[in-house]
Amino acid sequence: MNASEVRAAITLASVYVLRMLGLFMVIPVLAIAAVEYPDYSPLLVGLAIGGYGLTQAILQIPMGILSDKWGRKPVIYLGLSFFALGSIIAATADTMTMLTVGRVLQGAGAIAGAVMALATDVTRESERAKVMAIIGVSIGFSFYLALLVGPVIAGTFGLSGIFWITAVLTICCIPLIQFGVVTPAQQTPAGDTIPRRNQLKSLLIDSNLWRLNLSVLIVHMLITCFFVQVPTLLSEADFGLNEHWKIYTPILLISVLFLVVLMKLGARVPTGIAFIFSLLLMSFGFGLFLLPGLDWKLITLAGILFFAGFNYMEAHMPALVSSIAPAGRKGSAMGIYASHQFFGAFLGGVLSGVLTQWMEADTAIYACLLVIFIGMILAAGIQSAKRVKRVTLKIPAGAAWTKETDYSNIQQELSSIEQVHDVSIDLVEQAIYLKVDSKGFDLKQAKALIQ
């Protein structure tokens, strides 16, 4: 990568880390810290933990589409402003209701698609995968960092301290974007990066994709339910809020070791079987919460088992969606996937809150076990995907074949090239999208053909 691409990658990854930290730091502490509010209830706790997911799910695709019309940076600034405003409302809230409103407004800063598209605009095609990988790693890093520092900050500065820090970090992201990433002179074709409305229907009914979408919804329902339960269980085990990191640290470290083992095993079995085994580990984690005499050791073991399964699915599902999505439709497929992901977080908060408030505490855990069973049925039908890469080619200016009403001939010729799996031609974007084998594809042959 050149200097501009390195700077863009670091800047956009930093924006992701700072923004996601603000969303995630609250999750492991809210169930405990919220008892100080006068209108405290388990339902409001669940809504406050998962509320951001509702607006994220609703606005994920529209914000991506707007970035095509208004430009990437204006949409990113708008999203960051919503996020900062929501953080300030939550920081100054004196009731759980207002805190929940702040969390929902935080979710309105749905800028994932615009950030990814900006990364596409300012990088060369040959280096784009590296930039996307750096951003992707930053998302996972922010989640684990939030679990460790969230309880410490809440224990020191209170719950409002987390939201004030989040607001400041979010505001710092605006100059980072302005000065850390060059403003592209021209937006690149965005059909493979930004969601497209005319592509959504066909992707929603694709057998493999809808199973993955529902699977990620279930997985994020479960992790929200997990963090509605665990902080309370740790407090009952005589762990103060600022000591919770002592439990989360071994959970995260050991579960990562489990992930390495699962990845090696997963490479030898069908994807559906690997997912079923991961869900089984998550069910064992929840099942331990039902044992009598639950102490910090059992809670730690439950967390390790849960996160071992969660980490494997969280790492593999986006890659599967990216691989399975048709040429030129990865952005739309990932937009639908992300909407399900965030909506799952919202549903998890509602489910756990409702069941905890109006039924026995263990009812929410039994509900999670039922949801896991449904997830196993879905996972059984998920097929393994081949390793592919995506190639975007600009249609040459004035190409004679673009004037024809039927350009199926050029599509057939491109499809006949060895190692090409899928072809999509978009005359509006003036681009051709190819899905090809990661090795053996002749790029020169494809370029020569479209001239």
User: What residue ranges define each of the domains in the chain, with the CATH number in brackets?
Assistant: 1-181 (1.20.1250.20), 206-385 (1.20.1250.20), 388-450 (3.30.70.100)
pTM equals 0.86
Confidence band, pLDDT 50/70/90 cuts, at residue 294: confident
**pLDDT tens digits, 152-175:** 898 889 899 999 999 999 999 999
pLDDT at 404: 58
CB 390 within 8 A of CB 434: yes
Q: 3-state DSSP call for residue 392?
A: strand
CB 173 within 8 A of CB 22: no
Which of 103-117, 125-139, 203-217, 380-394 has the least mean pLDDT? 125-139
CB-CB neighbours of 88 under 10 Å? 19
Residues found in the chain = 451
Output the average pLDDT for the chain: 85
CB 390 within 8 A of CB 333: no
SS3 readout for 237-291: CCCCHHHCHHHHHHHHHHHHHHHHHHHHHHCCCCHHHHHHHHHHHHHHHHHHCCC
**pLDDT tens digits, 115-127:** 878 887 888 767 7
Q: 3-state DSSP call for residue 188?
A: coil
Whether residue 146 is predicted with pLDDT greater than 70 in this model: the reply is yes
pLDDT at 125: 67
Dist. CA 320–CA 271, nearest whole Å: 9
Of 144, 58, 129, nearest to 319 by C-alpha is 129
Of 244, 239, 312, nearest to 27 by C-alpha is 244
Q: 3-state DSSP call for residue 420?
A: strand
E strands in 130-180: none
Of 224, 253, 237, nearest to 348 by C-alpha is 224
Identify the helix (H) or strand (E) that includes residue 433. Answer: strand 431-437
Whether residue 398 is predicted with pLDDT greater than 80 in this model: the reply is no
Dist. CA 411–CA 432, nearest whole Å: 9
Of 307, 327, 297, 303, nearest to 388 by C-alpha is 327
